[in-house]
Amino acid sequence: MKKKLLALLLTLTMALSLAACGGGEDAAEEPAGDEGTTNEEAAGGETSGDLINIGFAQVGHESDWRAASTNSAYEVFSEENGYNLSFSDADNDQAVQIQAVRTFIQQGMDYIIIDPITATGWDAVLTECEDAGIPVFIIDRTVDDSDKYVSWVGSDFTTEGKACGEWLKAYAEAKGITEINALVIEGSTGASATIGRTEGFKEVADREGWTILDSQNGDFTEAGGQEVMESYCQSYDGQFNVVICQNDNEAYGAMTAMDAAGVTYGVDGDVIIVSFDSNKPAVQHVLEGNMNATFECNPMAAPFVDEVIKQLEAGETPEKEIYMEESWFAAEDIVSEITVNGEAMPVIHVTQEVLDARPY
C-alpha cells in the first residue's frame, strides 16, 4: 500500500464529499484476538506488507450488540479476505480509544475504523490521521466536531426513537390504552445513539401528550438497566405503564428488577417494555411475550466498510454517509405498519421462523 496514493485518494474523497454536502455484559465474549491483537501473531506492532492493514478502535464489550459488531469485523477483515486486523477494546474509555488510534497511526495502518464512544473530542486525532494519509471510517455512533473521515456507516438513531414512539402510539390505540406514563433507561451519556433515541422518542411523546416520568443513564449494560429499574420501582411504584430501554441488555436488567419488585410486564403484564438493538436473545423474549417490541440497530457495519475500501482501492469516491437497513419487531400481530418521517415502515410480527432467520 502506497501512502502517497492513499493520501491523494483521501484528499479527493474529502473534497468531493464536502462539495456534495446499544444476555448481560458478562455473556458478551470477545472473539480470539483480545485488545491490541491482530489476525496474525505479529510482534512489536509490525504490519503485514502482503495484506491490507486495518486498525479498529472499538467502544468496548458492554453488550450483545457490541459483541456482534466485533465478531463481524473479525469475519470480514480476515486474512482470507486480504486483511490484517489490529483490534483495540477501549472498555468505554475515550482516552484509551484515542490512544489506540494514535498507536494505529504509529504502526502505519492502511485504514482505521473508529466506533466513537462519545460524539465530541475527535477533531485533533482525526487531523493526525489525515496528516498521516490514513483514511478513517466512522461506524455506528457519530462524531459532531469533525468531518475528517471518509465515510460514516451506521443507523439513524433519531428515526429509531421515533419508530418506537409511533409503534407505541399505534399499539396503545389498538389496546385501548388512553394514558402513557413512561420511564426511560438511557444509554451511555454523550453517545449519539443515546442522544438520537432519546430525542426521537421524546418528539413523539411531546406530540401525543405522554408523561415521561424519568429518564436515567443505564450505560447500555444489563447491570446498569437493573440498577436504574430497581430505583424506578421504588420511586414510581404503581405510577408507570411503559419502560423504554435504549438497548437489549438494559431491558434484561430491567426485567430482573421488575421480577424482584413483583411488577408484571410484557404481553400479559401491566407494563409495556421495549428495547433497541434486536439481538437474537431479545427477539426470543419478544417471541415469548416477555417484551412487547424491539427496534433494530444493525451491528454489521464491517461488510459496508469493506465495500468502501474496495471503492477507494479502485479510485472511486464513496458516499459520506451510509445508512444500513433495519426492522422493527413486535410480539403481537396488531400493528403491521407505522409511518416515520413520512415513510410507511412495516412492523414484523415475531414468529419462530423470524427468530431463526436472525443473523445475530
Compute the distance between CA of residue 265 and CA of residue 275 in angstroms, rounded to an integer: 13
Look at residue 16 in the predicted model and tell me its pLDDT.
32
Look at residue 157 in the predicted model and tell me its pLDDT.
96
Query: Does 3.40.50.920 match the CATH number of domain 3-155+299-323?
Result: no
Average pLDDT value for the chain: 89
pLDDT in tens, 248-285: 999 999 999 999 999 999 999 999 999 999 999 999 99
User: Are both 3-155+299-323 and 157-297+327-357 of the same fold?
Assistant: yes
Q: Where are the domains of the chain?
A: 3-155+299-323, 157-297+327-357
Look at residue 29 in the predicted model and tell me its pLDDT.
38
Compute the distance between CA of residue 225 and CA of residue 318 in angstroms, rounded to an integer: 38
Look at residue 160 in the predicted model and tell me its pLDDT.
97
Compute the distance between CA of residue 132 and CA of residue 134 in angstroms, rounded to an integer: 6
Look at residue 141 in the predicted model and tell me its pLDDT.
93
Look at residue 188 in the predicted model and tell me its pLDDT.
94
Residue in 131, 133, 151, 132 with CA at minimum distance from that of residue 142? 151
Residue in 258, 238, 290, 11 with CA at minimum distance from that of residue 131? 11
pTM comes to 0.82
Name the architecture of domain 157-297+327-357: 3-Layer(aba) Sandwich (3.40)
Q: Which residues of the chain have pLDDT under 50?
A: 1-46
Q: List, in sequence order, every residue forming a beta bridge with 55; answer none if it has no partner.
A: 86, 112
Look at residue 11 in the predicted model and tell me its pLDDT.
36
Look at residue 49 in the predicted model and tell me its pLDDT.
62
Phi, psi of 229 (to 5 degrees): -70, -35
